Amino acid sequence: MTYISIYDTTLRDGEQTPGVHFGARQKLDIAKRLAKTGVDILEAGFPASSQGDMDAVARIAAASGDGELGDMTVSALARMRRDDVDAAASALKDARRARLHVFIATSDIHLERKLKITREECLAAISEVVAYGVCLKRENGKPAFDEVEFSAEDATRTDPDFLRSAVSRAVEAGAGIVNIPDTVGYTTPAEYRRILSDLRASVPGDWLLSVHCHNDLGMATANSLAAAECGAGQIECTVNGLGERAGNAAMEEIVMALKIRRDAIRRTAPDGEGTEPLGCRIRTEEITETSRLVSSLSGIAVAPNKAVVGQNAFSHAAGIHQHGVMEARGTYEIMKPEEIGLNANTIVLGKLSGRHAFADRAAQLGYSLDPAGIDAAFARFKEIADKKSVVTDEDIRAIVGEYLDSLEGTYYLDTFQIQSGNHIRAMALVSLFVKDPAADMAGERRTAAEAAPGEGPIDAAFNAINRIAGAERVELVSYGITAVTEGTDALGEAKVKIRDLDAGTIFSGRGVSTDVIKASIKAYLGAINKWKEMQVEARS
């Protein structure tokens, strides 16, 4: 069997999903879970894009160097610029195995309209910067990167002759991995095969072919698998298909397709005689927990009908289907739930459960909490457990996820009062704690309070928060609240998205409580805190 390397870019391309922002601690938790899942290469971020991303990549690299991520390679993205490469080198210096992933657009529309450079200038930049990355040394004299990957952005809309020239330049400069991304989800499986086969045949050298497919036309997984059949040794993807626009090829779909259709997804054997099966090193029994952790920390729910990990993937509503499954599961199920880790949890947590049991279950779900974090999340757990008989895994994910969100923010809830009725206009009085490092050092805790009217209690509360945060140029894009689990004692999980009217950037937040107004306020604060962080970074 030929093994395909799985390159996960959830923390970089996945974070480009509108409204998604992973804090450094959340990124590390996802990185550890991806290592447990068996991912070969992790794209930890884009260090040159912000100090926050630089710090997050460095933190993951340090965990790698300490052996917490096993043999997983840690990769960092860089534009075709020396200062970007330097930033990547600095962030990855402690990684056990480090990869530089340097990219530049090669299609004429990108060169002319976005980069405003000629083809010749593009080729010159590839030669210079790839060679710079290959030759860059650490302070101890060792190479800054163990391997260098080159990506030709918008490759599938690039003139074939120029694409060959760009790839040839990168290989000649020392790139060992060449990525041919379908950046805008434009190509088809047959067309992709032709593009990749042509490159393989026309560009000499010992280089690994990689692909990165977007899902704009719904063909990301199909294109990725077609690429594997014609020689790609690496597939780039994200958990749950996260990513900008329609997202990326979903890791769980690619992995399970390789496993279930090993008979059909094959490649010509090296000796030219017959075909050989393709596989990967992902531990499929970890897929469900990985999907749920990423969904929890990103705030992006998995669609019920999502392939492999959607809640309906193993549900059967039609009578004829139910009868068939009861007689033999193989009549309508091509995968076993156990193959992706869908096993019932036998641990039931409630108000009598102790701190150790809670901490153990949180760790099993993929969250790494320090003692202070365990104390804070456990206190919230006990508060919830007093109001409902059984606390489920989904409740725990919501509780811990909300706590992790709160660590990243400037504001967190102190108190709120609502006045509302069918014959009066709603009014809200909201008091917030404001994180102030100088005040904290003095042992003080600053609060700020505002009152505001609104069309209803939620609108009034949001208006009051906007006054405290100075968020006059922020608008609510979406708001919704759902029950985390079933029953009248269920937690309500609120999710909001807001938009900065000047930058157009979208931020998301979520909050959980048995009180839907409290959950809504917490969700809005989560989004406002991310917006505030962007304001601070823009000024620094």
Mean pLDDT to the nearest integer, 154-178: 98
pTM for the predicted model, two decimal places: 0.85
CA distance 457 to 425: 9
Q: Which residues, listed in sequence order, are joined to residue 416 by a DSSP beta bridge?
A: 430
Strand, coil or helix: what is 309? coil
Least confident of 263-272, 383-392, 490-499: 383-392
Mean pLDDT to the nearest integer, 373-399: 84
CA distance 3 to 228: 10
What is the maximum span of the chain, computed from C-alpha positions, in angstroms?
A: 82
Contact 43, 9 (CB under 8 A): yes
Mean pLDDT to the nearest integer, 365-382: 89
Beta strands (DSSP E) in 80-160 are 98-105, 147-153
Could you please state the CATH topology (level 3) that the domain comprising 2-298 is classified under: TIM Barrel (3.20.20)
Contact 316, 332 (CB under 8 A): yes
Q: Which two tokens stand for residue 340?
A: 């992706």
Residue range 432-458, pLDDT digits in tens:
999 864 444 444 568 999 999 999 999
State residue 450's pLDDT score. 97
**Whole-number percent of the chain with pLDDT over 70:** 92
Task: Name the average pLDDT for the chain.
Answer: 91
Domain spans of the chain, in order of start: 2-298, 355-405, 408-539
Q: Which residues, listed in sequence order, are joined to residue 421 by a DSSP beta bridge?
A: 424
- The CA-atom distances, in angstroms, between 154 and each of 7, 59, 163, 209, 309 are 19, 31, 10, 16, 29
- b/e per residue 216-242 (b: at least 16 CB within 10 A): eeebbbbbbbbbbbbbbbbbbbbbbbb
Least confident of 6-10, 355-359, 468-472: 355-359
Minimal CA–CA distance to 35: which of 1, 74, 62, 83? 74
For the 408-539 domain, the top CATH level (class) is alpha beta
Alpha helix locations (H) across 365-456? 371-385, 393-407, 437-441
Least confident of 17-31, 120-134, 253-267, 434-448: 434-448
φ/ψ of 310, rounded to 5, equals -70, 150
Residue range 492-520, pLDDT digits in tens:
889 999 999 999 999 998 888 888 999 99
Least confident of 98-107, 134-143, 249-258: 134-143
Residue range 30-41, pLDDT digits in tens:
999 999 999 999
Residue 302 neighbours by CB distance under 10 Å: 20
CA distance 480 to 40: 37
CA distance 280 to 297: 26
Mean pLDDT to the nearest integer, 356-385: 89
State residue 395's pLDDT score. 84
Question: Rg of the Cα trace of the chain?
Answer: 25
DSSP assignment string, 255-285: HHHHHHTTTTSEEE-TTSSSEEEEE----GG
Q: Which residues, listed in sequence order, are joined to residue 508 by a DSSP beta bridge?
A: 497
- The CA-atom distances, in angstroms, between 455 and each of 335, 428, 508 are 49, 11, 22
CA distance 120 to 159: 14
Per-residue pLDDT for 294 more than 70? yes
Mean pLDDT to the nearest integer, 396-418: 84
Higher per-residue confidence, 108 vs 383: 108
Mean pLDDT to the nearest integer, 108-136: 98
Residue range 299-342, pLDDT digits in tens:
898 999 999 999 888 865 555 555 565 567 778 788 989 999 98
Higher per-residue confidence, 199 vs 438: 199
Per-residue pLDDT for 405 more than 90? no
Helices (H) and strands (E) counted in the chain, each on its own, are 17, 17
CA distance 334 to 340: 12
Residue 521 neighbours by CB distance under 10 Å: 27
Least confident of 45-59, 62-76, 273-287, 321-335: 321-335
pLDDT tier for residue 380 given thresholds of 50, 70 and 90: confident
CA distance 178 to 6: 14
371-385 and 393-407 helices, crossing angle to 10°: 130
State residue 32's pLDDT score. 97
- DSSP element (H, E) containing 385: helix 371-385
